[in-house]
Amino acid sequence: MSIISDSLKRIKPSPTIAVTQKARELRAAGKDVIGLGAGEPDFDTPDNIKNAAIQAIKDGDTKYTAVDGTPALKKAIIEKFKRENNLDFTVDQITVGTGGKQVLYNTFMATLNKGDEVIIPAPYWVSYPDMVLLAGGKPKIIKCDEKDGFKLTSKKLQKAISKKTKWLILNSPSNPTGAGYTKNEIEDLAKVLIKNKKIHILSDDIYEHIKYDNFNFFTIAQVSKLKDRTLTMNGVSKSYAMTGWRIGYAAGPKDMIKAIGKIQSQSTSNPSSVSQAAAVEALNGVQDFIQERSDAFKERRDFVVKSLNNIKGITCLTPNGAFYVFPSCKGLLNKKTKLKTDTDFVQKLLDKSNVAVVQGSAFGLDGYFRISYATSMENLQKAMDRIKSFCESLS
| pTM as predicted | 0.96
Determine if residue 30 is left, alpha or beta; phi over 0 gives left, psi from -120 to 50 gives alpha, anything else beta.
Answer: left
SS3 282: helix
Q: What is the dihedral of CA 156, 162, 166, 169, to 10 degrees?
A: -10
How far apart CA 87 and CA 385 sit, in angstroms, is 46
All structural domains of the chain with their residue ranges: 6-44+289-394, 63-284
pLDDT tens track, the chain, 395 positions = 788 888 888 888 777 777 778 888 888 888 899 999 888 999 999 999 999 999 999 999 999 999 999 999 999 999 999 999 999 999 999 999 999 999 999 999 999 999 999 999 999 999 999 999 999 999 999 999 999 999 999 999 999 999 999 999 999 999 999 999 999 999 999 999 999 999 999 999 999 999 999 999 999 999 999 999 999 999 999 999 999 999 999 999 999 999 999 999 999 999 999 999 999 999 999 999 999 999 999 999 999 999 999 999 999 999 999 999 999 999 999 999 999 999 999 999 999 999 999 999 999 999 999 999 999 999 999 999 999 999 999 97
Q: For residue 202, which of 112, 92, 262, 133 has the smallest C-alpha distance?
A: 112
List the beta bridge partners of residue 211.
Answer: 321
Q: For residue 284, which of 31, 52, 40 has the smallest C-alpha distance?
A: 52
CATH 3.90.1150.10 fits 6-44+289-394, yes or no: yes
**Burial per residue of 238-255, b for 16 or more beta-carbon CB atoms within 10 angstroms, e otherwise:** bbbbbbebbbbbbbbbee
Q: Which CATH class is domain 63-284?
A: alpha beta
pLDDT at 10: 83
